[in-house]
Amino acid sequence: MKVGKKRAPVAEARADTPVDELGEKETLMHYNAVLLEDLKSKMELIIEWMQAIELRFNVTFEAIDKRFDAIDARFLTLEAAVRGLKGDIMILDAKFDRLVPRVDNHEHRISALEQA
């Protein structure tokens, strides 16, 4: 830069405008305001990104909750079936216990008939 020669004013200060190129009207405060606006727009992008991620997580978690609800329902069905089968087995066990003495009695009678 030559001494004494005025530099042409910058048409519009942007975030990447060097500080030494600012004219009289474009003060350092204005440049900082431009930088702040740039930071603000980047923060807005970050906020939008976070909102998109939050929405996706909410959808994913809702799907996971539905799957767990379905699994819980199936588990309850299985639990009820097992309890029913346990009751059936207990009934069969009681019937079997009543049959054992009768079978033993028949075995003794058959053995007695075979010996006679």
Q: Which residues contact 19 (CB under 8 A, 6 or more apart)?
A: 28, 31
Return phi, psi of residue 24, to 5°.
Answer: -65, -40
Query: Which range is most confident: 5-14, 27-36, 80-89?
Result: 80-89
Whether 37 maps to a domain, the answer reads: yes
Whether 10 maps to a domain, the answer reads: no
pLDDT in tens, 84-116: 999 999 999 998 888 888 888 888 888 888 887
Q: How many domains, in total, are found in the chain? A: 1
Among candidates 41, 38, 40, which has minimal Cα distance to 17? 38
pLDDT value, residue 6 = 52
pLDDT in tens, 42-75: 999 999 999 999 999 999 999 999 999 999 999 9
Whether 91 maps to a domain, the answer reads: yes
pLDDT value, residue 9 = 55
Calpha distance 56→50 (Å, rounded): 10
For residues 61 and 20, the model is more confident at: 61
Cα angle for residues 8, 9, 11 (degrees, 5° grid): 120
Burial class of residue 34 in the structure, from the number of CB atoms within 10 Å of its CB (0-12 exposed, 13-18 middle, 19+ buried): middle
Expressed as residue numbers, the domain containing 65 is 19-115
| Cα 36 to the center of its chain, rounded Å | 36
Whether 1 maps to a domain, the answer reads: no
